[in-house]
Each structure stands twice: as structure tokens, then as C-alpha cells.
Amino acid sequence: MIEIVPAPMPKSFKELKELVERVHGFVKKVQVDIVDGRFAHNKTWPYKDRKSFDTIVEKEKGLPFWQEITYEFDLMIENPVEEVMNFVRAGGTEIVIHAGAPGAHEALQKVAEQKDGDDGAFTVTTGLALTPEMQPDVLEHFDTLYDYVQVMGIDHEGFQGEPFEPHSVALIERLRKRYPELTIQVDGGVSLKTARQLVQAGANRLIAGSAIFTADNAEEAYKALYTEANVGQ
């Protein structure tokens, strides 16, 4: 079955809690969009609210509803190698690194080294994000360092509500043809209009931000997306 993952893009820890609370009770995972204002022009928590994040990293408090919800962090940041382990320490069980970010390879390598040296106790998985104009060949540079791929469904990373980029469909199709067993998730441009097309192209996980969080009823929006994505599955 196709998984639907809500993606809050909070400006503060308070907003993160409010957004996660809107989906708490009917989802088991969220993807938090993290933007540092340098990799993309937007800026989100924790880069607008660092103190709250450092408190979580230091284990003085936890992420909202951490006992019931797992967290994926989508790191749209300029130097992921410097920050990636902080997001792991904060409670991220899945971390997305963007292939176009400086130091992306080194950041994935840092997580991989932690996996190799922890006797199986370290369970964090990593995703590699590709923009619509990239080709599957990009994956060769990151061979063995990622667990899944995230295809961006928009051109301008770091924002929600952006128009869908149709070129992402062709990239999904190429990836699925070359890597039949690969988990491919799509982030950006996911809506009731695009969900079925993305799944038919080969996506098996959809990340939805504005389609859920701008809806009057987040649960109804989530269920409608799930139904649309799973037609024929």
C-alpha cells in the first residue's frame, strides 16, 4: 500500500507542536521540512528558533508526541555534514539529504559510519533527494549510502504550495525501471490531482504538506489522498 506522510514546515517549536497535533491520532510518522535560509531562501525551525532545538538535542525535552509519532527530517540545508547527527540526536529516525547540497556525500557517510559501528543498534535510515532535472546516474556517486530516494515534485525547494513539476514523473519512471526494488518517495506538488499519476510512475510513498495542512480538516484530506493513491493497489 502507498504510504502518505504529512509534512509540516514550522517556523517555531510551538508551531511544530501545533501542526503535529493536527495529525496526531491518525498518522504514525511525519516529515519535518528543515530549511536554513541558505540552501533555499526560506527559513524554518530550528534556524529561526535554535534554543528549542538544542534543548531537544541535549535530551532535556522531546519532540511533540515522540512516543507515538516517528520523525523524518528533510534537511534542505547548506552544510548537512555539520548538522546531520544533531537531527539524529533530536530523535530523527529517517533523514533526507539533498544530492545538490555541499557535503551531501560526507553527511550520508557520517550516518553510515554510525550504522557500521553500532552493532545493529543504530536504526536511522537515510534518503537521498533528487530535483526533477536530475538523472538516475546521480545515485552512482552515493552508492550504498542511502536507503531510499526522494524525488522533488517542485522546482523551488524550501517552500510549500509550489506548482507541480511534471518532469518529476519522468525521473520516477526512470528510477523505477533501473531500480525495481527501490523505495521512491515524492515530496512537493503532491495533491489529489497528482497522487495517482505519481504512483503509476513508480512512487510508493507520498509526502504531503500544503495538501493536508491547509485543509479545513487535516484527517479528511489525509484519507482522501490515501484513497486516491491506493486506487488499484
Q: Chain-wide mean pLDDT for the chain?
A: 94
pLDDT recorded at residue 3? 97
- Displacement of CA 80 from its chain's centroid (Å): 14
Distance CA 201, CA 177 (A): 10
Lookup: cell for 55: 534543548
| pLDDT tens, residue by residue, 12-42 | 999 999 999 999 999 999 999 999 999 988 9
Total domains in the fold of the chain: 1
Distance CA 224, CA 192 (A): 8
3-state secondary structure of 72: strand
* Its pTM surpasses 0.85: yes
Q: Which three cell numbers stand for residue 125?
A: 535510515
The pLDDT score that the predictor gives to residue 49 is 86
Please state, for a pLDDT cut of 90, what percent of the chain lies above it.
87
pLDDT tens digits for 53-98?
999 999 999 999 999 999 999 999 999 999 999 999 999 999 999 9
Residue 66 belongs to domain spanning: 3-229
Q: How far apart are CA 159 and CA 41, in angstroms?
A: 9
pLDDT of amino acid 176: 98
Q: What is the pLDDT of residue 119?
A: 64
- What is the CATH number for 185? 3.20.20.70
